A and B are shown apart, each in its own frame.
Chain A
Amino acid sequence: MPPTNSDESRNLAFQQAIDADRTVEPRDWMPERYRSTMIRQIAQHAHSEIIGMQPEGNWITRAPSLRRKAILLAKVQDEAGHGLYLYAAAETLGVGRGELTELLITGRQKYSSIFNYPTQTWADVGAIGWLVDGAAITNQLALTKTSYGPYARAMVRICREESFHQRQGFELLSELSRGTVAQHEMAQDAVNRWWWPALMMFGPPDTESPNTAQSMAWKIKRVSNDELRQRFVDMTVPQAQALALDLPDPQLRWNEARGHYDFGPIDWEEFRQVVGGHGACNAQRIAVRRAADEDGAWVREAARAWEVRQNSRTSAA
């Protein structure tokens, strides 16, 4: 449809409301591009929570103690919950739940590329909690102030639940780091493998992030990729020291003038490879999600058939 005068004035009014920090709610008029950007971002976030259950879920049966198993189960269950809060937020924009699942398992929507890395040892569970959830929290805290109301509210709820995720990872690594030599080495190896992918979670540098300007203008994004990444680095370095573990970056050092830690260059070619489908686990993650969906189809259908029969009984009575 060609833009009309009224579209233009509505666009203007929309931007003015955003500038005045007014939250956008589901039934408000919004530009089509705002709606589609929001759907894509929330869906991608939801998919990440759901796919993110796999790398850690992989260790539930092999957790080294009942305490650790209970903690890991609770964490993975939380991630399922996060996915569901977010799918519900996306649905307020007029997409269906099943539609989003299909877009995911047919590869037409993405999820965070961090979950395409394998969890090779038990220490990876700690490194994920500490670094991956740590990075996610940094990102999600900024999103609690995003302009779309249902998304912002989901973020508040999620952030409240996330802090235990990071702490249990930190505690797990701390025990390993102070354990036997082999345990310490296992913890260090996990941190070596997860550090750089965790930094990539914030997305490409601001100079190469084409959608950032519009997302900032609409206040979907309130803090840029590079600024969030810096926040995460500054927060994490002292934690690594407390863990007696090294971060695998020889250029990492405090910069007195900037008041921040400097860090070395990120291998964006690796990032592009993994996003492009060539990570270690891309195919496996989607295959598992697809199988879960197909295996659950009969449950969804049976429950629906039961409801239909109950309804016909009540209306016949």
Chain B
Amino acid sequence: MGGPAEQPDFRSVSHAEDWPLWEVFIRGRRGLSHQHVGSLHAPDPELALQNARDLYTRRGEGVSIWVVRSTEVHASDPDDQGPLFDPPSDKAYRHPTFYTVPEDLQL
């Protein structure tokens, strides 16, 4: 970091490194699960929660917030979508519509 006598070097002063990224999840109201709403930068969990409050709940959108470091989220590969999710498509018997039942019964 430069002393006061040095020329201000914008790059090193300001954005040598961004604060880490966090994913934000909000519970809209009691009885619902938390849902992903977006992401933000913050230096630590406490400030991430406060920033999330300001950024994502300005109109009473939530009653509870989770923040998770983005680097802690592990995702499936979009190119694997076929092999990963296709197998159930030939298992129609997992759906109630597969079965024939008497029409006049509540079932």
B87 lies within 8 A of chain A by Cβ: no
Q: Among A28, A78, A307, which residue has the most Cβ atoms of chain B within 10 A?
A: A307
Per a CB cutoff under 8 Å, which of B1, B47, B75 touches A27? B75
Query: Which segment, of A84-92, A117-125, A205-213, A259-267, faces chain B?
Result: A84-92
A304 touches B43 (CB 8 A): yes
Min CB–CB distance A294 → chain B (angstroms): 7
Q: Which of chain B's residues have a CB closer than 8 A to the CB of A28? A: 78
B94 lies within 8 A of chain A by Cβ: no
Contact with B along A271-302 (1 / 0, CB 8 A): 00000000000000000000001100100110
A98 touches B18 (CB 8 A): yes
Min CB–CB distance A256 → chain B (angstroms): 42
Q: Please tell me the number of chain B residues within 8 Å of chain A, measured between CB atoms.
A: 26
Q: Which of chain B's residues have a CB closer than 8 A to the CB of A300? A: 14, 19, 43
Majority secondary structure, A binding face: helix
B78 touches A306 (CB 8 A): no
B58 touches A102 (CB 8 A): no
Q: Which of chain B's residues have a CB closer than 8 A to the CB of A154? A: 38
By size class, the interface of chain A is 20 to 34
B68 lies within 8 A of chain A by Cβ: no
A303 touches B47 (CB 8 A): yes
The total number of A-B Cβ pairs within 8 Å is: 65
A303 touches B43 (CB 8 A): yes
Min CB–CB distance B6 → chain A (angstroms): 14
A298, closest chain B residue (CB)? B13
- Inter-chain CA distance A96–B16, complex, in Å, is 11
- Inter-chain CA distance A154–B75, complex, in Å, is 21
A307 touches B78 (CB 8 A): no
Q: Which of chain B's residues have a CB closer than 8 A to the CB of A99? A: 15
- Interface set, chain B 48-66, CB cutoff 8 A to A: 54-55, 58-59
Q: Which of chain B's residues have a CB closer than 8 A to the CB of A109? A: none
B11 lies within 8 A of chain A by Cβ: yes
- Inter-chain CA distance A84–B38, complex, in Å, is 10
Per a CB cutoff under 8 Å, which of B8, B14, B55, B78 touches A81? B55
A310 lies within 8 A of chain B by Cβ: yes
Q: Which residues of A contact B (CB under 8 A)?
A: 25, 27-29, 74, 77-78, 81, 84-85, 88, 91, 96-99, 101-102, 153-154, 157, 161, 293-294, 297, 300-301, 303-304, 306-307, 310
23 chain-A/chain-B pairs, Cβ below 8 angstroms: A27-B77, A28-B78, A29-B79, A74-B58, A81-B55, A85-B38, A88-B38, A96-B15, A97-B18, A101-B14, A101-B15, A161-B59, A293-B14, A294-B8, A294-B13, A297-B13, A300-B14, A300-B43, A303-B19, A303-B44, A303-B47, A304-B19, A307-B44
Closest 7 CB pairs of A and B: A98-B15, A303-B43, A307-B43, A307-B44, A88-B39, A297-B14, A97-B18
